[in-house]
A and B are shown apart, each in its own frame.
Chain A
């Protein structure tokens, strides 16, 4: 039985005539780091807003099986006259659990500036403070909206490291249009395009192609012409090409290629060095799925 912490069925959100979300189905498993990927304007913020209870869906329903949900907007802002410690302590006061402000401030690298007013904080510091305020209440579910989008590379690295550290403590739903970030920290992704989920599954399935036409790369000695000829006659092969000492073969599904490839190569008297699945970048798959 799948332990689902967020389940959405047919969520639709309209702003006047504009359709922001179009019958979105979503399933986030407990303990996962779920990357909600999509181009700007795809509906990521709207979807997170709906799940956070900040916006009402026009249609559809969703369930969240979590006692404590924390949300981090893309550019957190706090009353500038508050100190960092006060922001975190307010979060502790408003949460239903005990929280250790000092430990969280230390974990987010803000302990030294905890007494400073946040009006003078940089964007990176505000992002870290937002994360501190979000995690101090020990949430079961953490909704992060583009948490690293506005940061410089060092700030991005810090925030992604913090998200990685949280793995196991909470289920994290992480929206981003920066695919590299998602690939680094997420194990499951949903691709949102024009308000619709066009792919949902594990990152591994997506980049290795079990959900799309998978490919294998065969390295050979002495050229791959004979292998290409042999594979072309196989009905499970959708595409095969040779580039000197390599042959790339694609099939309708990973299951088929895993079962048939070696069997088809066995009768050929070829010097095979290696056979390995082709890992496509998330960017390749994303462009393929969204275009």
Chain B
């Protein structure tokens, strides 16, 4: 039993991996279904009132998927990651680990396994959304979808790293998750400033709609900043947790 296997078992035995997969898979299926059958749904619920709905397009289906999946999915990723990264929440287990391994040895598998789980879940949801859209409406642009999915994967890895650094400020699992989500919301608000937006990790979220619609790739700045911040968060959490007394 190694610390890597411990993290894989944690995800599997606590059913957290299934929660992540289910969240993204569910929205991956609902996105194209909702877009394709929105006119029929509105007709059925409208009670005779005529409501104008947009014509179903691949872009609309994929945007619908991402909008819902990211909201709930990010919350799920933050809580699942916090449950692993805020390991000081259980003092006795923390003593067990801290007296046997370095903080870096403890944290690295937790980051890697949880980031991988988040990314794999997102890939699954995107694949389901893509196939569903292709079957029900029309195939979205493959190249744009792949690039946007990779950018979002980097962003989700950043969410895990951010949760880790939050766990070095508070010991509780909900506390760490909520701090991480709050920071993401605040960066989203800061992103409303046009001059700042291209540099923020939250800019990567917008890449999905743009690239699937055939827009130009203009995300190098936010990509580099997100990668640098992710490594910075990991390094900071290792340093801060190493100084913490339990």
Contacts and interface: CB of A to CB of B under 8 A. Distances in A.
Interface of A: 49, 52-56, 69-71, 73, 75-79, 81-82, 86, 89-95, 130, 133, 137
Given A73-B95, A78-B92, A82-B6, 6 more contacts: A52-B95, A56-B245, A76-B92, A78-B93, A78-B96, A81-B13
Interface in B75-106: 90-93, 95-96, 98-101
Interface of B: 1-3, 6, 9-10, 13-14, 90-93, 95-96, 98-101, 245-246
B1 A81 contact: no
Contact of A76 (B9, B14, B96, B100): B96
Contacts of A90: 1-3, 6
B95 A79 contact: no
A56 B14 CA distance: 34
Contacts of B100: 91, 94-95, 137
16 contacts: A52-B99, A53-B99, A54-B99, A71-B99, A73-B91, A76-B92, A77-B90, A78-B96, A79-B93, A81-B9, A82-B6, A82-B9, A86-B1, A86-B9, A91-B100, A93-B1
B101 A94 contact: yes
Contacts of B93: 77-79
B99 A70 contact: yes
* B contact face: mostly helix, strand, loop, or mixed: helix
Contacts of A82: 6, 9
B177 to A, nearest CB: 18
B92 A93 contact: no
Nearest to A13: B245
A115 B215 CA distance: 56
A57 to B, nearest CB: 11
A104 to B, nearest CB: 14
A79 B9 CA distance: 11
B203 to A, nearest CB: 38
Closest 3 CB pairs of A and B: A77-B92, A94-B100, A81-B13
B101 A54 contact: no
B92 A54 contact: no
A54 B98 contact: yes
